[in-house]
Amino acid sequence: MNRHNNNSSFTTTAGDTTMQSALIKKTLGMATMLAASFLAQHSFAQSANCSYSISNEWNTGATGAITITNTSTTAINGWNIGWQYTTNRLSSSWNATVSGSNPYAATNLAWNGTIQPGQSVSFGFQVDKRGGSAERPTVTGSICGGSVSSTPASSSAPASSARSSSSPIALSSSASSRSVASSSIASSPASGQQCNWYGTLYPLCVTTQSGWGYENNKSCISRTTCTSQPAPYGVVGGGSSVASSIALSSSSAPSSVAPSSSSIGSSIGSSVASSIAPSSSSIRSSSSVASSAASLSLKALADFPIGVAVRAGSEANSVLGSSQQQSVLFQHFDQLTAENIMKMSYMHPSETTFSFANADALVDFARQNGLSVHAHALIWHEDYQVPNFMKSYSGDFPAMLKTHVQTIAAHFSGKVASWDVVNEAIAENSDGNAVNGFRNSVFYQKMGVNFIDQAFIWANEADPVADLYYNDFNTETNDAKTTRMLNLVDGLKARGVPIDGVGFQMHVLPDWPSIANIEASFRAVAQRGLKVKITELDVRVNNKYNSSAPVYTSLTTAAAAAQAERYRQIVAAYLRAVPAAQRGGITVWGTWDAQSWFASDPDWPLLFDNNFQPKPALQGFANGLTGQ
- Judged by the rule CB under 6 A, the positions of this chain that interact with ligand XIL are 339-340, 423, 473, 505, 536, 597
For ligand XIL, which is the closer residue by CB, 300 or 408? 408
Q: Are 260 and 170 in contact (CB under 8 A)?
A: yes
Residue 611 backbone dihedrals phi, psi, to 5 degrees: -105, 20
Distance in Å, CB of 299 to ligand XIL, minimum: 22
Distance in Å, CB of 428 to ligand XIL, minimum: 13
Distance in Å, CB of 567 to ligand XIL, minimum: 18
The C-alpha angle 506, 373, 587, rounded to 5 degrees, equals 20
For ligand XIL, which is the closer residue by CB, 372 or 505? 505
**DSSP reduced 3-state for 546:** coil
Distance in Å, CB of 79 to ligand XIL, minimum: 39
For ligand XIL, which is the closer residue by CB, 597 or 612? 597
Helix or strand holding residue 409 (H, E): helix 397-411
Compute the distance between CA of residue 370 and CA of residue 224 in angstroms, rounded to an integer. Answer: 20
**What do you get for the CA distance between the two ends of the chain, in Å?**
34
For ligand XIL, which is the closer residue by CB, 55 or 337? 337
Distance in Å, CB of 201 to ligand XIL, minimum: 34
Compute the distance between CA of residue 270 and CA of residue 554 in angstroms, rounded to an integer. Answer: 35
Residue 277 backbone dihedrals phi, psi, to 5 degrees: -70, 130
What is residue 615's DSSP assignment? Answer: P
Q: Which of 215, 339, 519, 536 is catalytic?
A: 536
Residues 6+ apart with CB under 8 A from 230: 254, 414
Distance in Å, CB of 598 to ligand XIL, minimum: 9
Residues 6+ apart with CB under 8 A from 119: 69, 70, 272, 273, 275, 276, 288
Compute the distance between CA of residue 541 and CA of residue 605 in angstroms, rounded to an integer. Answer: 7
Distance in Å, CB of 310 to ligand XIL, minimum: 11
For ligand XIL, which is the closer residue by CB, 340 or 345? 340
For ligand XIL, which is the closer residue by CB, 477 or 505? 505
Distance in Å, CB of 424 to ligand XIL, minimum: 6
The C-alpha angle 276, 282, 288, rounded to 5 degrees, equals 45
Listed residue (67, 270, 68) closest to 179, CA to CA: 270
Helix or strand holding residue 562 (H, E): helix 557-577
For ligand XIL, which is the closer residue by CB, 289 or 320? 320
Compute the distance between CA of residue 381 and CA of residue 440 in angstroms, rounded to an integer. Answer: 9
Q: Which of 57, 424, 476, 519 is catalytic?
A: 424
* Residue whose Cβ sits closest to ligand XIL: 597
Q: Are 187 and 216 in contact (CB under 8 A)?
A: yes
For ligand XIL, which is the closer residue by CB, 236 or 342? 342
| Sequence-ordered strand ranges (E) for 33-72 | 48-57, 61-70
Listed residue (459, 462, 537) closest to 500, CA to CA: 459
For ligand XIL, which is the closer residue by CB, 235 or 336? 336
Residue 594 backbone dihedrals phi, psi, to 5 degrees: -65, -20
Please say if 424 is a catalytic residue.
yes
Residues 6+ apart with CB under 8 A from 253: 56, 58, 199
Distance in Å, CB of 332 to ligand XIL, minimum: 19
Q: At residue 350, what is the residue type?
A: S
Peptide bond preceding 103 in cis form (omega within 30 of 0)? yes
For ligand XIL, which is the closer residue by CB, 121 or 344? 344
Q: Are 575 and 283 in contact (CB under 8 A)?
A: yes
Instruction: Report how far Cα 523 is from the mean position of its chain's Cα atoms.
Output: 25
Please, how many CA atoms are within 13 Å of residue 315, restricted to the half-sphere of its CB? 20
Distance in Å, CB of 597 to ligand XIL, minimum: 4
The C-alpha angle 512, 514, 516, rounded to 5 degrees, equals 160
Distance in Å, CB of 75 to ligand XIL, minimum: 40
Distance in Å, CB of 357 to ligand XIL, minimum: 20
Please say if 428 is a catalytic residue.
no
430: number of Cβ within 10 Å: 7
Compute the distance between CA of residue 592 and CA of residue 589 in angstroms, rounded to an integer. Answer: 9
For ligand XIL, which is the closer residue by CB, 42 or 531? 531
DSSP string, 338-401: ESSTTSHHHH-SBTTB---HHHHHHHHHHHHTT-EEEEEEEEE--GGGS-HHHHT--S-HHHHH
Residues 6+ apart with CB under 8 A from 557: none
Radius of gyration over alpha carbons of the chain, in Å?
Answer: 25
For ligand XIL, which is the closer residue by CB, 253 or 417? 417
Q: Provide the annotated active-site residues.
A: 424, 536
